[in-house]
Homo-oligomer: A and B are copies of this chain.
Amino acid sequence: MRAETISIGTELLLGEITDTNTPFLANQLSLLGIDLYYASSVGDNYERLMEVLRRAWQRSDIIITTGGLGPTQDDITRETIAGLVGEGLKVDPELKQNIVCFFAQRGIEMPVSNVKQATVIPSAQVIPNPYGTAPGWWVEKEGRIIIAMPGPPSEMEAMWQDEVFPRLQERTGAIILSRTIKTFGLTEAKVDELITPLSSSSNPTLATYAKLDGIQLRITAKAAKPEEAQGMISKTEAEVRAILGDCIWGVDDETQEGVVGQLLVARGLSLAVAETFTAGFLTNTLATAHDSQSYFKGGLVTTSDEAKVALGLNPQPAGAEVATAMAVLARRQFEASIGIGLDGFTEPAGDAVPYTVFIAIDSEQIKQHTVQSYSGRLYQMKRRAAYYALFDLMKLLRST
């Protein structure tokens, strides 16, 4: 089955709000194994919405609209669907009563304009909306389904979960599972090149995504039974692991900071960090990690040479020596078993310049430092430095 989503509202096309309904529905449809081929946004305009709906009617089996179900003159989704399927709108007395009650419960008389929300066409089944006055529509005609839902994400998501998802699941019956393998230290092009032998498979499929914490691979399998889909994923995962080996650090929802945290907790170790130049991104990543209080002691962040002197550090030149002194300082000040020091420099000009970061790790047993050179936008590269440090520590912890 082919689906298509249409987000309706002029505010979307003025950039005043970000459409979160489309990514939500996209994700949900993929769980159902329904292919989403097109997603569009269109303003509150009858002709243009009709054009988009007509096009969708020609090419898709399921059309899901969000928005345009309000009580004002701008809200034209009902009228346009009625026009598309050639049916007349009529007020449904029961629906009208529901809306009157919705207002009465809040001590308000129903504004006259809201009667519009009680209109239906013969092909439309009403989808209840417990969180607002705009009911949805489920229209079935000529082998196609149009599902019209309200625009506010809280109302739409509740309607989807309670009513629409179960009905669609009944129709599809398919099982789709996916698994994400997370790597660090390789470029996307390199990962693509290495997995070429696997990437032509159409089931399971293999897709790569570049993120700040590395390149991710998503394996997605379709099958009639869960065990079958799981078996396909396991087989491909084993093949991916054989190719990418040590570059893989996690799967699915795992984060580098989470994996490092687990390794530290398992070994009864704690961590403190000191950063110059990376603006506290490593500290922030660790401090916001789930349950990090049990292993993360704290961070010391500074950006100026003067402040480095105040901390007893030799400010120039940036390098392994400063990074090592900082790792020692962090470990001592916060009484942690492991200290990480991050120092670095960049050329003064431009936004996308070569960037060098020095990563030192200090504990009773370990004295290590590494150097990474890479480039990009300064802000992102500073965030990326945190992942170089976490990946270094992860490798060390796994090898000991």
Contacts and interface: CB of A to CB of B under 8 A. Distances in A.
Given A37-B42, A287-B279, A333 B354 contact: no
A339 interface: no
Please give the count of copies of this chain that the complex contains: 2
A189 B301 contact: no
Contact of A111 (B16, B158, B187): B187
A28 B14 CA distance: 8
A335 B307 contact: yes
B72 A208 contact: yes
Interface stretch (A118-126, A290-298, A362-370): A290-298
A130 B352 contact: yes
Contacts of A187: 108, 111
A297 B310 contact: yes
Contacts of A19: 19, 22-23
A209 B9 CA distance: 11
Interface of A: 10-20, 22-30, 36-43, 45, 48, 51-52, 55, 59, 70-74, 105-108, 111-114, 130-131, 152, 154, 158, 187-190, 192-193, 199, 207-210, 218, 272, 279-281, 283-284, 287-288, 292-294, 296-304, 306-307, 310-311, 333-335, 350-352, 354, 373-377, 379-380, 382
A246 to B, nearest CB: 19
Nearest to A178: B14
Contact of A39 (B12, B299, B310): B12
The secondary-structure label for the interface of chain A is mixed
Contacts of A16: 23, 27, 207, 209, 218
Contacts of A26: 12-15
Contacts of A23: 12, 15-19
A208 B280 CA distance: 32
Nearest to A374: B106
